[in-house]
């Protein structure tokens, strides 16, 4: 393999002339842009401890009224990517959002797609295009790009959820913006998770003769997901992943276009080493405690913690306790698949 020329190999006068014309020679920087074997990665495998986040989030509730915040969020920022860039991985934005009793996060619409995964509390809700979606612990709520949404809280005590957005990608495209609107008129009926899409393999008959709804189901109740994981665990060999993907029930495709979402169960004393993938990920601990080794670095985690996994990482999960652990996973596999470079690397 030939050695590439360096910038210093070029006469200073030539380099100055290129700079004056806003030109850059590729070959001295080619390996930085296209390294051999594995991408250059700045994402640090790390854990955000909820026991450290929660007190600061509650303090934010005292310091900043919702009218001054619009969305009261502490962003989970990866230092390897620069805290100011607000990225957990290069493609995934995550943050912990707090809403207090009686508060309303105003109605708006934006270009990034977002989901909310409920961490704690009762009485919160999200309204998406007139559909009121109750927010119970572990529920996944979709607020896709281009759909109006607002949040409220008519219960007691704080409600906290994990936000996950494709904001880094949309922002890098110089396409990120929002618009505010008037409060929505809420439809007086249960959300579709309770009426239209109660069972896998069953969809409203009318969906067979109309264009498929790209966001047919906007709320995935955790009680159903957890029960399904427990059922799947009974027929899955120990050491093999017990994992379910969140999909559009009308199409079977990933429920959002850029980021993918799944739930993982680790049985007591179980160790799982999933196939190495080109996708990056953020995982949130719904229940339980354990550890994850990422490229040789051990990350210890417990209830409500979150942790980041870089692209192309070697990953091993371990549940050392006598009770199951449940995790929620966010990854950028759908975008990589659409762009044609998603890969898996069997051991």
CATH of the domain at 257: 2.60.120.10
In a domain, 197, yes or no: yes
- Total domains in the fold of the chain: 1
Q: How many helices (H) and strands (E) does the chain have?
A: 8, 23
Is residue 222 in some structural domain? yes
254 DSSP assignment: B
pLDDT tens-digit profile of 298-328?
A: 999 999 999 999 999 999 999 999 999 999 9
Question: Would residue 17 count as lying in a domain?
Answer: no
Q: 14 lies in a domain? A: no
pTM here is 0.96
Residue 123 scores a pLDDT above 70:
yes
Average pLDDT of the segment spanning 128-156: 97
Q: What is the pLDDT of residue 95?
A: 98
Domain that holds residue 304: 45-345
Whether the per-residue pLDDT at 2 is higher than 80: the answer is no
- With 0-12 / 13-18 / 19 or more C-beta atoms within 10 angstroms meaning exposed / middle / buried, residue 208 is exposed
Query: What dihedral do alpha carbons 85, 220, 100, 147 form, nearest 10°?
Result: 60
Within a domain: 32: no
- Asked if residue 199 is part of any domain, the answer here is yes
State the chain's mean pLDDT as an integer: 97
From residue 51, alpha-carbon distances to 56, 265, 269, 301, 303 in Å are 10, 22, 24, 11, 9
**Residue 190, pLDDT score:** 95
Over range 224-238, report the average pLDDT.
Answer: 98
| 21 in any annotated domain | no
The sign of the torsion formed by the CA atoms of 61, 67, 68, 69 equals positive
Domain assignment present for 4: no
pLDDT for position 3 = 85
């Amino acid at each position: 393999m030939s050695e590439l020329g360096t910038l210093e190999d070029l006469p200073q006068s030539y380099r100055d002339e290129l700079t004056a014309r806003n030109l850059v020679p590729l070959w001295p920087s080619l390996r930085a842009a296209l390294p051999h074997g594995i991408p250059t990665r700045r994402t640090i495998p790390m854990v955000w401890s909820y026991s450290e986040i929660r007190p600061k989030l509650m303090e934010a509730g005292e310091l900043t009224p919702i009218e001054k915040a619009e969305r009261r969020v502490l962003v989970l920022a990866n230092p390897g990517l620069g805290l100011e860039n607000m990225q957990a991985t290069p493609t995934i934005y995550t943050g912990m959002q707090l809403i207090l009793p009686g508060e309303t996060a105003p109605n708006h619409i934006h270009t990034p797609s977002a989901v909310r995964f409920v961490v704690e509390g009762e009485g919160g809700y999200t309204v998406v295009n007139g559909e009121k979606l109750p927010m119970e612990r572990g529920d996944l709520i979709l607020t896709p790009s281009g759909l109006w949404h607002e949040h409220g809280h008519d219960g007691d005590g704080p409600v906290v959820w994990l936000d996950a957005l494709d904001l880094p990608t949309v922002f890098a495209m110089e396409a990120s913006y929002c618009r505010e609107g008037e409060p929505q008129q809420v439809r007086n009926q249960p959300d579709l998770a309770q009426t239209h899409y109660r069972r896998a393999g069953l969809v409203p008959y009318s969906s067979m003769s109309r264009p498929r709804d790209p966001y047919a189901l906007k709320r995935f109740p955790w009680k159903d997901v957890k029960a399904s994981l427990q059922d799947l665990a009974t027929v899955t060999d120990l050491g093999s992943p017990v994992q379910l993907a969140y999909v559009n029930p009308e199409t079977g495709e990933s429920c959002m276009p850029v980021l993918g979402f799944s739930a993982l169960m680790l049985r007591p004393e179980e160790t799982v080493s999933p196939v190495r993938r080109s996708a990056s990920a953020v995982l949130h601990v719904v229940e339980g405690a354990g550890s994850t080794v990422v490229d040789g670095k051990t990350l210890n985690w417990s209830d409500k913690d979150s942790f980041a996994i870089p692209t192309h990482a070697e990953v091993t999960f371990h549940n050392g306790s006598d009770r199951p652990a449940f995790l929620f996973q966010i990854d950028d596999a759908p975008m990589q698949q659409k762009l044609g470079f998603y890969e898996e690397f069997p051991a």
